[in-house]
Amino acid sequence: MFDYDDEINDYIKEMIYPENLTFDPFVVAENNGIDVEYVSFLDKPYGLYVPPINMKARILISSDLKYSNMRFFVCAHELYHSIEHKYLAAYYTSIPGGQDSLEREANSFGTNLMCFYYKELFDTETISYVDVINYFEIPREIYVHDY
């Protein structure tokens, strides 16, 4: 697991991009054999990673986000779970606070991947964090926290 944003950024630059030639989380998922499907959730979650137990790994994204730029962040967030938390479903329910730390890690990865993807989309090296947050509709609770 990553401890710092610098480690996440290094991983994205050194592992994600060279293997996929893009920062697009949908392409990265496809290149790693992960199906992405849109499904109806009630209100939340926005997405869910389903490990490859008796089937192909899947990322489920709320059908409400199908035409929203937020789908890219959600896919990136769930992609992190597929990389680092592949078989940790029991950890979510058995360790107090486990879900919080896993979600923070996935949020950090997703946000950082979106910064790289924004640079790729707009062919720029200079970005504003606020522009990235607004473009990908990253929820306020993701980037405003109290830890």
Separation between Cα atoms, residue 9 and residue 119, nearest integer Å: 13
φ, ψ of residue 87 to 5 degrees: the values are -125, 35
Per-residue pLDDT of the chain (147 residues; tens, 9 = 90+): 444 578 889 999 999 999 999 999 999 999 999 999 999 988 778 999 988 877 889 999 999 999 999 999 999 999 999 988 665 554 444 344 445 778 888 999 999 999 999 999 999 999 998 999 999 999 888 876 543
